[in-house]
Amino acid sequence: MAFSDLQLGLACAGGAVVVAVIGYNLWQERRARKHAEQLFRPAERDALLDAESVDAIPPAPGGRMEPTLSTDAGRNAGDRSVDENVMQSTPAARARTQATRASQPTLPVDSQAIDCVVTVEAPAGIAAASLFTAQQALLAGFSKPLRWFGWDDSSNQWIELDARSPGNLNRATAALQLADRRGAVSDSDLVRFYDQVQRLCDQFLAVPRLPARNEVLERANELDRFCADVDIQIAINVAAKDGSFPGTKIRGLAEAAGLTLHADGSYHAQDDDNRTLYTLSNQEAAAFSAEQLRNLYTTGITVALDVPRAPDPVASFDKMVAFAQKLAGSLNGVLVDDNRVLLSERSISLIRGQIAQFDQQMERQGIPAGSEVALRLFR
């Protein structure tokens, strides 16, 4: 069958149109791919949200020391000295320096220092409340605390998320704490954390940035070793010389000194920010309660200082000793350690020096005693 010139012309024109459409589609696809790559590739490394860029926290110098309050123990504690030559820039300080160079928003320093931070990018946007609710179902049951933050463009800052958080997000972070008093985060927890964050991102068409797991575990173990080195509690006992102390008098002395009774069964001395300086508790098994103190008689009470949690531990210790001495005078008691060895002014002075060393150790790591990050680590 012969084709006319008109039919041939129409066939050629149709083929040209098909080729043009295919070419245009390929050009559009390439353009979209380039745009996506630019969107998900930051212009420069985020020094505070990319865990690979955060240096590991070095272990604190010296081994773990459990202080006692006897004269011999105090003398041994006093012999320990702090080598000022080992002072280095801390992870928190390095993070602050890098923050000034970073073009992207940064998390608070405590998250940079003690958390594994995973950044989540969501170009299409995610409802903040929906993200938080979804992660509750997928990311429950970890042995370490997990916090979520969203970047608020209107206030230009990170906001900690909860089930009532308003608005949509294009950027969020999941921060899993690396260590606490129970030890370092486990490899199995970290694997599950990564897997579940990836599942969550798949659900919301978002992209996670997962730090190298081996580096995160190394940071966690080094942070745990540092915590063990400075996790010290100091206790002074007020023992009855004769008989026992009445609970009503203990209550009166505690309340007169401004201490308040807490749910843990101890009186707490607190500063203006409600941070505990030291505690007063029963040396015997029965915890203090408002009802129980009416009929209580005890042969001894204990004032205690939790060094890493106390703001300005040396000053807190001095206030604790003064209070213990006042209790001893008012109750006809004596100051002794756990072995019922009398405490002298010399032993108290040596303990104060030991506390100062631990305080300096924490300062060098950028984790001051009594700070928010210290309260998270030593809860």
Q: Establish if 21 belongs to a structural domain.
A: no
Q: Is the pTM of this model over 0.75?
A: no
Please indicate, yes or no, whether residues 210 and 238 belong to a single structural domain of this protein: no
Please indicate, yes or no, whether residues 218 and 353 belong to a single structural domain of this protein: no
Q: Establish if 366 belongs to a structural domain.
A: yes
What are the tens digits of pLDDT across the range 298-343?
A: 999 999 999 999 999 999 999 999 999 999 999 999 999 999 999 9
Please indicate, yes or no, whether residues 170 and 259 belong to a single structural domain of this protein: no
pLDDT at 52: 39
pLDDT at 156: 87
Strand partners, 364: none
The count of domains in the chain is 2
pLDDT at 267: 98
Q: Name the residue among 139, 118, 120 with its Cα closest to residue 210.
A: 118
Where residue 187 sits, what CATH number does that domain have?
3.30.1400.10
Place of tokens 């998270």: 376
Domain boundaries, position 316? 232-377
* Final residue of a structural domain among 174, 199, 228: 228
Q: Establish if 41 belongs to a structural domain.
A: no
pLDDT band at 270 (very low <50, low <70, confident <90, very high): very high
pLDDT at 96: 43
Q: Name the residue among 164, 324, 350 with its Cα closest to residue 253.
A: 324
Query: Over pLDDT 70: what percentage of the chain?
Result: 71
Is the per-residue pLDDT at 274 higher than 80?
Answer: yes
* Final residue of a structural domain among 200, 228, 256: 228
Q: How far apart are CA 314 and CA 182, in angstroms?
A: 26
More confident residue, 6 or 73: 6
* Final residue of a structural domain among 228, 255, 283: 228
Q: Establish if 168 belongs to a structural domain.
A: yes
Please indicate, yes or no, whether residues 267 and 193 belong to a single structural domain of this protein: no
Is the per-residue pLDDT at 225 higher than 50?
Answer: yes
Which sign, positive or negative, has the C-alpha torsion 83, 109, 180, 288?
positive
Mean pLDDT, rounded, for 143-163: 92
pLDDT at 30: 55
Highest mean pLDDT among 27-41, 62-76, 197-211: 197-211
Is the per-residue pLDDT at 41 higher than 70?
Answer: no
Please indicate, yes or no, whether residues 251 and 335 belong to a single structural domain of this protein: yes
Is the per-residue pLDDT at 85 higher than 50?
Answer: no
Distances from the Cα of 174 to the Cα of 95, 98, 114, 169, 193, angstroms: 18, 20, 13, 13, 9
pLDDT at 99: 39
* Least confident segment among 15-29, 166-180, 311-325: 15-29
Is the per-residue pLDDT at 38 higher than 70?
Answer: no
Mean pLDDT, rounded, for 145-170: 92
Is the per-residue pLDDT at 199 higher than 60?
Answer: yes
Q: Establish if 352 belongs to a structural domain.
A: yes
Do 305 and 280 meet the contact criterion of CB atoms below 8 Å apart? no
Q: Establish if 192 belongs to a structural domain.
A: yes
Please indicate, yes or no, whether residues 200 and 249 belong to a single structural domain of this protein: no
Please indicate, yes or no, whether residues 242 and 365 belong to a single structural domain of this protein: yes
Q: Residue 121, CB half-sphere, CA atoms under 13 Å: how many?
A: 16
More confident residue, 18 or 146: 146
Please indicate, yes or no, whether residues 190 and 323 belong to a single structural domain of this protein: no
Mean pLDDT, rounded, for 190-212: 96
Please indicate, yes or no, whether residues 317 and 360 belong to a single structural domain of this protein: yes
Please indicate, yes or no, whether residues 177 and 129 belong to a single structural domain of this protein: yes
Residue type, 203: Q
Please indicate, yes or no, whether residues 186 and 254 belong to a single structural domain of this protein: no
What are the tens digits of pLDDT across the range 95-105?
A: 444 433 334 55
pLDDT band at 10 (very low <50, low <70, confident <90, very high): low
pLDDT at 44: 43
Q: Establish if 297 belongs to a structural domain.
A: yes
Is the per-residue pLDDT at 87 higher than 50?
Answer: no
- Please state, rounded to an integer, the average pLDDT across all residues of the chain: 81
What are the tens digits of pLDDT across the range 226-246?
A: 999 999 999 999 999 989 999
Alpha helices in the chain (DSSP H): 5-40, 71-79, 91-101, 109-114, 128-138, 187-203, 213-230, 247-256, 313-331, 345-364, 372-377
Q: Establish if 348 belongs to a structural domain.
A: yes
Mean pLDDT, rounded, for 266-284: 97
Is the per-residue pLDDT at 263 higher than 80?
Answer: yes
Burial code of 233-262, b = ≥16 C-beta within 10 A, e = fewer?
ebbbbbbbeeeebbbeebbebbeeeebebe
Is the per-residue pLDDT at 75 higher than 50?
Answer: no
Please indicate, yes or no, whether residues 132 and 148 belong to a single structural domain of this protein: yes
